[in-house]
Amino acid sequence: MARGSRTGKRLVDLTGGGDDGTTGLLGGGRVPKDARRIEAYGTVDEASSALGLARALAGDGHTREVCEQLQRDLYLLGAELATNPDQAGRFARFDAADVDGLEKMIAELEEQAPMPREFVLPGATPGSAALDLARTVVRRAERQVVALARDGDEVSTPVRQWLNRLSLLLFVLARYEEARAGRAPLTAKGKPSAGA
């Protein structure tokens, strides 16, 4: 059986502490596994997995590079959300520069791919479909982070903003992926969008 890389313990031994329905936070402390904070960073983890699928299915090399970088960013964001609020300063925190970075990427991709003027049906290519799926998971993570903050838990403004921009970036990246494949996005009205 696989063993933990740093502890020498079996993986099953490392997870046994959660049998009581709680999980540990970075920086110490335990909370119920269905707590809003756990739902939020669990959905961030899900978004990273969805992006991994998109990366595997994407036909364009730049799309794959962007997906990998975003997965690394989501890992850091998940760590921030998984940190005990009393120990928030221990882990890297997102700031306005991170939000600006996503906005720059959005602008660059928009210059390279036409954006539809109608609602889009995901599925024009395998890669774009996976990106659209990842976008919906990110939207759910954003909703959970907003709910977490509304309940009085500490969530930085840049984290909320970054997730909001990320969902837009994934929409634009999906259209870029379609354009690179020579496919037009499918619109909800049943006709391919003009442009690609």
Q: What is the pLDDT of residues 7-38, one digit of tens each?
A: 676 655 555 555 656 554 554 555 545 567 77
Residue 169's pLDDT band (cuts 50, 70, 90): very high
In terms of pLDDT, which residue wins out, 32 or 70?
70
Q: Average pLDDT for residues 184-190, to the nearest whole number?
A: 82
125 contacts 177 by C-beta, under 8 angstroms? yes
Mean pLDDT over the full length of the chain: 84
Would you give the distance in Å from CA 76 to the centre of its chain?
A: 11
Residue 80's pLDDT band (cuts 50, 70, 90): confident
Return d(Cα 137, Cα 131) in angstroms, integer: 10
Query: Mind listing the domains of the chain with CATH numbers?
Result: 36-182 (1.20.1200.10)
Residue 195's pLDDT band (cuts 50, 70, 90): very low
Residue 196's pLDDT band (cuts 50, 70, 90): very low
Residue 57's pLDDT band (cuts 50, 70, 90): very high
Global confidence as pTM: 0.83
| 117-159 per-position pLDDT tens digit | 888 999 999 999 999 999 999 999 999 999 988 887 778 889 9
pLDDT surpassing 70 at residue 178: yes
* Furthest C-alpha separation in the chain: 57
